[in-house]
Chain A
Amino acid sequence: MEHADVLVVGAGASGGVVTGALADAGFDVVCLEQGHWPDRTDFPALRPTYELEARGGWGGNPTLRGKPEDYPVNETGSDIATLMYNGVGGSMVLYAADWPRLLPSDFRTRSLDGVGDDWPLSYRDLQPFYERTDRAFGVSGLAGDTALPPGAEFPLPPLPIGDGALRMARAHDRLKWHWWPAPNAVLSRPYQGRNACAHYGSCMQGCPEGAKASTDVTHWPNAIKAGARLITGARVSRILTDARGLAIGAEYVDTEGRWHVIKADVVVLAANSVGTARILLNSASPRFPDGLANSSGLVGKRLMVHPFANVTGYFDEPVDAGGHVGAKIVSYEYYETDPDRDFVRGAKWSLAPTGGPLNAALPSRAGNSVWGKDHHAHVRGHLGHSLSWCIFGEDLPDEANRVEIDDSLTDSSGIPAPKVTYRVGENSRRLLDFNIERAQQSFAEAGARRTAVESLMRFSGWHLLGTARMGDDPATSVVDGWGRAHDVPNLYIADGSVFVTSGAVNPTSTIVSLALRNTEHLIENRREQRIPG
């Protein structure tokens, strides 16, 4: 039977970082990934049908996409549909590559604002890891943002922001509101053997240049060179445990439907906040009747996805927002709590382009369709004449928002599938409404002729967080401050499940920085690590 020092489940953002660090330290690591290597030559960017494909097989919702490597999610009870990619590189293959950090206050919401919980670490603990992962992934940006404490330069200069974002920056200058050129995990220059961005603008359907960072291009090739074994088309059904309650490996099924067991001294889950909760709950046994590592009852609970609103501004003049689809500029003006408002916490704004002609005719975000004789004027007024403020609201942890195992739904291998229940809370609603109004004001100041509002976007579950929170107290958390399960001392969680609160920023730079920090701690403490006999 196959055996490894460490078994990692999931080859996405966190799985790539964990496996790379362990392989570099000389560990024998095996990673099981249910999907496959993405085929860069098959990405739709260069095809004229690109926008059409983005609404079909290249969409982000695994249930609608329905590929054999996807698993369905019952989200009939959810205000927001989850998005992800299942394959090497994980959801980074589809992400927009916005690369912000949590702000210092995000780690202390209980102390500062009386909501959520404090993290067992601070911004300053994570800062060196943010800086190292910026270099490893190749981040373009400009240091000195007043939304963060001072720190190192980014490894690459910021991407051009285009005249659309410049117009918004000038408006914020007049309003005296914060703005800053956005950091992106997209190369503004060739870097470490990868090409610079070529402006296809199709980042959310895969980057054909490899200019957008995802672990399939940034981490996996080196991890494999260092000896890591990556098994694709391998879907884990459950983590197995011994009589002492230690993890001993996993059961998985390959694409031919053959079942296997692999043993390991340590198991690391990196399957994202829905996938990891699903595996833990599916791993229930007589010893762990409510699911593995779930004595707190919190596995699957406190799901946070960042409720997302969108304001589109339409301009008479052309506004160039071409190139990468992530943020051109960001604003943190309304991020922090202000006691004069009727909500706590806040939102991050990202200024994004609004897509090509199909998106002008059938907008996937704020905007409407017009048919008949006014259709052409409508499309011309949108295409190349609009910009979008993407408003990511902080999601407060709520145990009612959760991932469970569905009673009847299964994936293509017959493994029980997850069910997501999620409702936008009252604080979030007030927070979004306030920020929508301010975003409209921002566009008005910039000279927009009109704005369109989408007050909550359903297909916006990009950020999957919180279903196995970190904490010092085993009664109120699933893993400790180093990602180790309180109940199972050789089981670790490396993905966004461990987030204590959500902040209001795109989470991947934090996920991978935490994954690196916690893996290095595991490596340093290898001698004290309990392993099965």
Chain B
Amino acid sequence: MTDDNLRRWLGGVADELIPAGDGMPAATEAGVAGGQLDLVLAVRPDLARALNRAWALAGEHEPAPALRLLADLDPRAHQALLEIVSGGYYTSSLVRRLLNYTGQQPVPVRPEDHPAYLAEGLLDRVVERGPVHRDPDSLSRRQ
């Protein structure tokens, strides 16, 4: 289903949504209509159906009017297109490197013995202000 015509059309739409700029590549330069599309559809086969529908409905239009038409006619296909484009873009290692995104790397948690909030006395002041709960037994509460 992901034939060349569809990929060409998707590439146009993708670059309309995410053009090059601010030191970042355009969507097609990040492979959104190429290998990244295969990756996206492999983990989200549910998006393939909506992509097909989007293409059937708007495949003959230029990118900007195609997006407007889809938003009107088939919001779910429109939303799927946004997910396919941004999903492909932000899973590209090039894009992640440029964004300096290092998430999902294992980093050992180090519970500090004295976090800054203790050193600054922030919690002491919370405690000084008194309970913020009502106790049904004593009905005490900070005023």
Q: How far is the CA of A240 from the CA of B13 in the complex (A)?
A: 58
B22 contacts A357, C-beta separation under 8 Å: no
B108 contacts A198, C-beta separation under 8 Å: yes
Whether B60 is near chain A, meaning CB under 8 Å from some CB there, is no
- For A525, what are the chain B residues with a Cβ–Cβ distance below 8 Å? none
**Chain B residue, CB-CB nearest to A323:** B109
Distance in angstroms from B59 CB to nearest chain A CB is 19
Residue interface bits A287-325, CB-to-B below 8 A is 1, else 0: 000000000000000000000000000000000001100
Q: How large is the interface on B (under 10, 10 to 19, 20 to 34, 35 or more residues)?
A: 35 or more
Q: How far is the CA of A356 from the CA of B21 in the complex (A)?
A: 20
Distance in angstroms from A412 CB to nearest chain B CB is 17
B44 contacts A53, C-beta separation under 8 Å: yes
Residue interface bits A375-395, CB-to-B below 8 A is 1, else 0: 111011001000000000000
**Chain A residue, CB-CB nearest to B86:** A361
Partner of B117, one of A108, A169, A200: A169
Interface hub of B23, B40, B86, B106 (most chain A Cβ within 10 A): B86
B127 contacts A146, C-beta separation under 8 Å: yes
A49 contacts B101, C-beta separation under 8 Å: no
Q: How far is the CA of A104 from the CA of B46 in the complex (A)?
A: 46
- Known A111-B136, A146-B131; 6 more pairs at CB < 8 Å: A105-B135, A146-B127, A199-B109, A358-B86, A369-B82, A376-B24
Whether A189 is near chain B, meaning CB under 8 Å from some CB there, is yes
- For B43, what are the chain A residues with a Cβ–Cβ distance below 8 Å? 47, 49, 52-53, 56
**Chain B residue, CB-CB nearest to A376:** B22
Closest 10 CB pairs of A and B: A376-B22, A198-B106, A357-B90, A157-B111, A199-B107, A361-B86, A188-B111, A108-B136, A52-B87, A371-B17
Q: How far is the CA of A412 from the CA of B94 in the complex (A)?
A: 42
Given known contacts A147-B133, A178-B132, is B22 in contact with A356 (CB within 8 Å)?
no
Residues of B within 8 A of A (CB): 16-19, 21-24, 39-40, 43-44, 46-47, 82-83, 86-87, 89-91, 93, 95-96, 99, 101, 103-112, 115-117, 120, 122-123, 125-127, 129-137, 141
Whether A215 is near chain B, meaning CB under 8 Å from some CB there, is no
Partner of A201, one of B21, B104, B125: B104
A160 contacts B82, C-beta separation under 8 Å: no
A46 contacts B104, C-beta separation under 8 Å: yes
Distance in angstroms from A62 CB to nearest chain B CB is 15
A48 contacts B136, C-beta separation under 8 Å: no
Residue interface bits A121-158, CB-to-B below 8 A is 1, else 0: 01010000000000000001010101111000000111
Q: Which of A28-36, A329-337, A458-466, A471-479 contacts B (4 or more CB under 8 A)?
A: A329-337
Given known contacts A51-B90, A52-B83, A178-B126, is B18 in contact with A371 (CB within 8 Å)?
yes
Which residues of chain A (311-369) have a CB below 8 Å from chain B?
322-323, 332-333, 335-337, 356-358, 361-362, 369
**Chain A residue, CB-CB nearest to B43:** A49
A380 contacts B83, C-beta separation under 8 Å: no
- For A144, what are the chain B residues with a Cβ–Cβ distance below 8 Å? 123, 127
Partner of A375, one of B18, B101, B105, B117: B18
Partner of B115, one of A146, A160, A189: A160
**Chain A residue, CB-CB nearest to B40:** A52
Interface SS, A side: loop
Q: How far is the CA of A380 from the CA of B87 in the complex (A)?
A: 16
Given known contacts A46-B104, A178-B126, A376-B22, is B109 in contact with A149 (CB within 8 Å)?
no
B136 contacts A176, C-beta separation under 8 Å: no
Q: How far is the CA of A50 from the CA of B105 in the complex (A)?
A: 12
Q: How far is the CA of A358 from the CA of B103 in the complex (A)?
A: 12
- For A209, what are the chain B residues with a Cβ–Cβ distance below 8 Å? 106
Partner of B83, one of A159, A201, A337, A362: A362
B22 contacts A377, C-beta separation under 8 Å: yes
A178 contacts B129, C-beta separation under 8 Å: yes
- For B23, what are the chain A residues with a Cβ–Cβ distance below 8 Å? 376
Distance in angstroms from A67 CB to nearest chain B CB is 12
Given known contacts A49-B91, A199-B107, is B122 in contact with A169 (CB within 8 Å)?
yes
- For A103, what are the chain B residues with a Cβ–Cβ distance below 8 Å? 133-134
- For A49, what are the chain B residues with a Cβ–Cβ distance below 8 Å? 39-40, 43, 87, 91
